[in-house]
Amino acid sequence: MKKKSAPREIQDSIIKSDQLVTYLSSRIKKHRKQVYMLDKYVEAIVNFIFENHNPKPLEVDKYLLEQVEDVNPQSPKASVVKELENIKTVKSANLEKAVSYNNRKEELVAELKLYRLNQSKKEDVKAYFIFNNSTLQNIVNVMPVTLHELQKIKGFGEVKAQKYGPSIIEIVNKYK
Over the stretch 101-119, which tens digit does the pLDDT of each residue have?
A: 677 888 888 899 999 999 9
> CB count, 10 Å around CB of 116?
21
Quick: pLDDT tens for 6-44.
Answer: 788 777 777 776 776 777 777 777 766 555 556 677 777
> CB count, 10 Å around CB of 153?
20
Domain that holds residue 7: 3-52
User: How big, in percent rounded to 5, are the helix, strand and coil portions of the chain?
Assistant: 75, 0, 25
Q: Is residue 73 part of a domain?
A: no
Residue 95 scores a pLDDT above 70: no
CATH number at residue 106: 1.10.150.80
- How many structural domains compose the chain? 2
Same domain for 116 and 47, yes or no, is no
Q: Is residue 145 part of a domain?
A: yes
Number of DSSP helices (H) and strands (E) in the chain, helices first: 7, 0
Q: Is residue 25 part of a domain?
A: yes
Quick: pLDDT tens for 115-140.
Answer: 999 999 999 999 889 999 999 999 99
